[in-house]
């Protein structure tokens, strides 16, 4: 099976497993796991941020950040397609007791003026206190598209001017870095907190890292424990993350190229409607005419290709490190004859 359902389906390679098997470990709740400490230092240094915290998932790093930045009753400003709003089980309300101001952005991306218009008057007792802006780069539900860096800087300016904190859901930050030729330190200077996933394009089996200043990460460490995310000899997992950061970043360009090739094959089919601009490893497209989205998925499956329908009319392909050159060629052949 050629599995395009998500970049979370990758399995650890032999070399990654070797790194996991030989990792020195200790009790991380005591701060004594040398491999987790090494991973946290590595990521903090990459982004030039003060401190980092290893967590089991990207949902947890996002939710810890929201909890640490807010008080119950505060409001978070984000795009309507945001993972933090759509796909984290109502965690903003459940964990932090916050409300959300949703912005209709452009494929998951919002602008500084939209943020500015969404800020409540802090002196109006009717209104929740606007506290945090959350951006997502790349945007998952926006088809893996990227922000222009200057647009994020403009949002940072609005946040500073209005005493708002700025969080980045960087589940696929490395896809954006590679596609836009940006550096992690640019991001470190722009955001109060960043969540980075190791288990998406980077190919680790488990794990995300939360970044911020020392005070924030100290608070986050307490919240991680409360959320049940204090792990013990989890250096075996952190070792996979270190391996991924050392070996699997530059190769993301290959995934982006493969995604482009698939996009080009889809463009030639009359039953394909809008294809979201393919900038990284995600291809979201509309199915029309002779197939419904679920019929199209079933047809792909008969041809040993797995993808998912994200709505009644939209299908998503995600390219990742377990998708080989020959799997892409096979996929292009199948698309051609449908
Ligand atoms: C996958 C993802 C996350 C985190 O997901 P987990 O499965 O909890 O690790 C967060 N944000 C975005 C945009 C994602 O795609």
CB 230 within 8 A of CB 238: no
Tell me the mean pLDDT in the region 87-93.
98
Ligand 1 in reach of 61 Cβ (< 6 A): no
For residue 242 the two structure tokens come to: 């270190």
| pLDDT computed for residue 38 by the predictor | 98
Instruction: Using a cut of 0.95, tell me whether the model's pTM lies above it.
Output: yes
Residues 6+ apart with CB under 8 A from 325: 258
Mutate to test the pocket of ligand 1, among 197, 208, 237 (most ligand atoms within 8 A of CB): 197
Question: Would you place residue 322 in the very low, low, confident or very high pLDDT band (cuts 50, 70, 90)?
Answer: very high
| Calpha distance 96→290 (Å, rounded) | 46
Asked: is 251-337 a CATH 3.90.1150.10 domain? The reply is yes
Ligand 1 in reach of 162 Cβ (< 6 A): no
So what's the architecture of 13-247 in CATH?
3-Layer(aba) Sandwich (3.40)
| pLDDT computed for residue 148 by the predictor | 98
Ligand 1 in reach of 194 Cβ (< 6 A): no
**Dihedrals phi, psi of 42, to nearest 5 degrees:** -60, -50
| Calpha distance 118→289 (Å, rounded) | 39
| pLDDT computed for residue 275 by the predictor | 97
| Calpha distance 167→66 (Å, rounded) | 8
| pLDDT computed for residue 211 by the predictor | 99
Look at ligand 1, atom 5, and give the residue with the nearest C-alpha. Answer: 58
State CA 76 to chain mean position distance. Answer: 18
CA dihedral 256, 257, 263, 266 (to 10 degrees): -130
Domain range list for the chain: 13-247, 251-337
Above pLDDT 90, what percent of the chain?
100
Question: Would you place residue 293 in the very low, low, confident or very high pLDDT band (cuts 50, 70, 90)?
Answer: very high
Mutate to test the pocket of ligand 1, among 56, 107, 140, 174 (most ligand atoms within 8 A of CB): 140
């Amino acid at each position: 099976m050629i599995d395009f359902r998500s970049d979370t389906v990758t399995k650890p390679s032999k070399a990654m497993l070797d790194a996991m098997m030989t990792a020195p470990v200790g009790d991380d709740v005591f701060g004594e796991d040398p491999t987790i400490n090494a991973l946290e230092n590595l990521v903090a240094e990459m982004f030039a941020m003060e401190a980092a915290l290893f967590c089991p998932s990207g949902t947890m790093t996002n939710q810890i950040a929201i909890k640490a930045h807010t008080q119950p009753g505060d409001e978070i400003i984000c795009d309507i397609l945001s993972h933090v709003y759509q796909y984290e089980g109502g965690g903003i309300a459940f964990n932090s007791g916050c409300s959300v101001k949703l912005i209709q952005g452009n494929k998951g991306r919002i602008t500084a003026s939209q943020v500015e218009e969404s800020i409540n008057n802090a002196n109006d007792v009717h209104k929740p206190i606007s506290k945090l802006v959350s951006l997502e780069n790349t945007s998952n539900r926006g088809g893996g598209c990227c922000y222009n860096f200057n647009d994020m800087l403009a949002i940072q300016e609005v946040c500073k001017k209005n005493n708002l904190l700025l969080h980045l859901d960087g589940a696929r930050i490395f896809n954006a870095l590679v596609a836009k030729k940006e550096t992690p330190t640019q991001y470190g200077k722009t955001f109060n907190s960043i969540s980075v996933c190791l288990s998406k394009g980077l190919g680790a089996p488990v794990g995300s890292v939360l970044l911020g200043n020392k005070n924030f990460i100290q608070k986050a460490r307490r919240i991680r424990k409360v959320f049940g995310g204090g792990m013990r000899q989890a250096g075996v997992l952190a070792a996979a993350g270190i391996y991924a950061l050392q070996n699997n970043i530059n190769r993301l360009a290959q995934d982006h190229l493969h995604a482009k090739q698939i996009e080009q094959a889809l463009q030639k089919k009359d039953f394909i409607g809008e294809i979201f601009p393919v900038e990284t490893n995600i291809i979201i497209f509309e199915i029309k005419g002779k197939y419904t989205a679920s019929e199209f998925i079933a047809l792909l499956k008969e041809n040993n290709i797995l993808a998912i329908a994200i709505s009644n009319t939209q299908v998503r392909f995600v390219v990742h490190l377990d998708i080989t050159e020959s799997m892409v060629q096979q996929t292009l052949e199948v698309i051609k004859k449908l």
